[in-house]
Chain A
């Protein structure tokens, strides 16, 4: 996903006080923000509260917010910070720069096929996936599911682009020999 002109226009419009633009930004991103937030915690109330605070602050402080042509990474970085800040108050092993949880699972869950053929099982792939670190999983999620550029991912993860390469490299060294072709077939046929 490359930053776009319309992102820039929409964002600048909102910063100038256009409520419709603000609403559009909310509705455009609410679903993906919620999905992303759910990777860090399954406390849905916390996710909702953080989203609510995020957008409230966005509007109230709109004149002091910087311009951008990539709205999604901006929002993701913000929601991540808020969530981790809250979570670190509750749990000892969570810091903004060091978190242990990023839950992703391969879909689909076609139990019938999985049971019939262990080789074809998506649970085998999910087991391997859980062996990656939280940041490795997050990078894969952002790069191949959200399809963000390395630059955008670096902004969200608050590291430089080289670090992103390293994370991806390490993640795939562990995953590359898994039977992904079979997962692909599963995804296409079990709708």
Chain B
């Protein structure tokens, strides 16, 4: 509609305009060819009004999600006059972590899976008509995902999780690129198998953190509670799987193809989950890269001064400006933040 004048409110209500705003198209909104400067102002104003409609969310506590589900199951059982004692009992023991750990240790049913040479190839799975869901986070974004079985995954920035719409009858298989924290719902009949950058983690019910960014040289699996069994997926020989106990972490070096088991401090590994950006003797490159990921920005660096220093700091729920003040002071550079770009000089 060339030349048609839209009032501000017209724009706000126009479906195609709204789609254009959300679509993040960089081209000018096509329904108004060659808008004059006033028109452009109008478009920008309408766009910012639409994007500003973000409201405070009331989030449901994780435990509540399960409690309500349990109540639903109980009610259904009552109404259908069938009792399923086994299912209800297994929910209860999942709530009590101590019981779970003893059961896991006592049970001999940790299931091992032989390697597979493929890495992230879920779409070539031979399951019949099983569609996969892919959830991605951009830099600067975090996402909480509930899988169909009650497992909760907290996806960190710049990460991707792929899982089937409906789990198969004998296993729960998911694929991760990036970093995520898993709280796996216990189900003995369906072991939970996570593949992430050459490491296959098999669990029954537990919580652990996996760091497998493509760009990193290592894959890290840190166990918080329960027990997991880990195996490499890229070897031709069948290896004995590594078993992790709580507070143990496996660091697998992708280059050297070696792994080592170390102890870790849960507070440090899970800092990201509590919205704390933590640096501990980090090199300049690591600092920059992690800030890019955390806040979803890009750096332009023309600083010629020394950068050998190691940087340490912890930022809880702070703006990027606050973090940059700290970093710039440590390294002695000046910085400027423009939109999503940070300039260092």
Chain A contacts to B: CB under 8 angstroms = 6, 10, 13, 18, 20-21, 23-24, 26-28, 30-31, 34-35, 38, 48, 51-53, 55-56, 59-60, 104-107, 109-110, 140-141, 144-145, 147, 149-150, 165, 168-169, 172-173, 175-176, 180-181, 183-184, 187, 189-191
Contacts and interface: CB of A to CB of B under 8 A. Distances in A.
Given A30-B68, A189-B321, A60 B52 contact: no
Contact of A181 (B9, B48, B53, B321): B48
Nearest to A58: B72
Determine chain A's interface SS by DSSP, over half rule: helix
B56 A107 contact: yes
23 contacts: A6-B165, A20-B167, A21-B148, A27-B147, A30-B65, A30-B146, A48-B68, A51-B68, A52-B72, A53-B75, A56-B79, A59-B72, A105-B55, A106-B54, A144-B50, A145-B55, A149-B15, A176-B9, A176-B49, A181-B52, A189-B319, A191-B295, A191-B320
Interface string B37-74: 00000000100111111111111100011011101100
A125 to B, nearest CB: 8
Contacts of A104: 55-56
B144 interface: yes
Nearest to B320: A189
A145 B45 CA distance: 18
B131 interface: yes
Contact of B9 (A109, A169, A184): A169
Contact of B8 (A53, A59, A106, A176): A176
Given A56-B75, A141-B55, A168-B12, A27 B146 contact: yes
Contacts of A27: 65, 146-148, 150
B260 interface: no
Given A176-B12, A189-B319, A31 B59 contact: yes
Given A6-B165, A23-B150, A169-B9, A35 B59 contact: yes
Contacts of B167: 20
B308 interface: no
Given A23-B149, A173-B9, A145 B54 contact: yes
A169 B13 CA distance: 8
Given A35-B59, A169-B9, A189-B321, A48 B64 contact: yes
B36 interface: no
B317 interface: yes
A52 B69 CA distance: 7
A190 B320 CA distance: 8
B78 to A, nearest CB: 9
B150 A190 contact: no
Contacts of B144: 31
A56 B79 CA distance: 9
